[in-house]
Amino acid sequence: MGLLLTAVLSCRGEVSAHPHVFVSQRFVVIFDDQGLAGVQVCWAFDDMFSTMIAGDYDLNQNGRFEGGEIAKIEKEAFSNLAGFGYFLFIRIDRTPFPVKYVKDFNAILDKGKMSYEFFVPCHVQATSQFKKLSIAGYDPSYYTAMFFSEQDPVVLRSAEGFEVRTALREDPETSIYFDMIHPQTLFLEFRRQP
């Protein structure tokens, strides 16, 4: 089943009729004393996909993922996404920032629902002028449909020393699925407090 997950999460264009996996995502935008430190990403998976993966990776069938199970999920069902930038697309002042690695991966199983959490380092130093970023999570093949959570889709952490503006909206400059869908994107602006 781990191979199935790998195939599902990395399918690129072979099957494009409609999404087969549904992911609700949340971004926690984390600042440090210099500016942006990165983004904590949480993906909550649909019931069917959660059940399928739990059947393969909750080896002791206790209803939660534990150390060795999490490591196996990361190796067999997550790390392959590095080749696709982890389905994350970041631009800093309109310049693409390729997501080459992530940190602190965790897989959670709670009451039958599965989620992944991981941190994307993306250091952007604050200045007196606004830095402008766009951060989107989507699968260009649309095999996996990714959308923002209705509850707290974006959270700011340690942002007290900065003036921060956020907006969630479709990105008209990006289109997928035969140019029919514009992925929802976080547009973020920040600068040092004037």
Q: For each of the domains in the chain, give its residue range(s) and CATH number, in order of start.
A: 2-9+17-192 (2.70.170)
What DSSP string runs through 131-180? Answer: EEEEEEE--TT-SEEEEE-SS-SEEEES-TTEEEEEEEEE-TT--BTTTT
Q: pLDDT 10s digit of each residue in the chain, 194 long? A: 443 444 445 444 444 457 999 999 999 999 999 999 999 999 999 999 999 999 999 999 999 999 999 999 999 999 999 999 999 999 999 999 999 999 999 999 999 999 999 999 999 999 999 999 999 999 999 999 999 999 999 999 999 999 999 999 999 999 998 888 999 999 999 999 98
Tell me the whole-structure pTM to 2 decimals.
Answer: 0.89
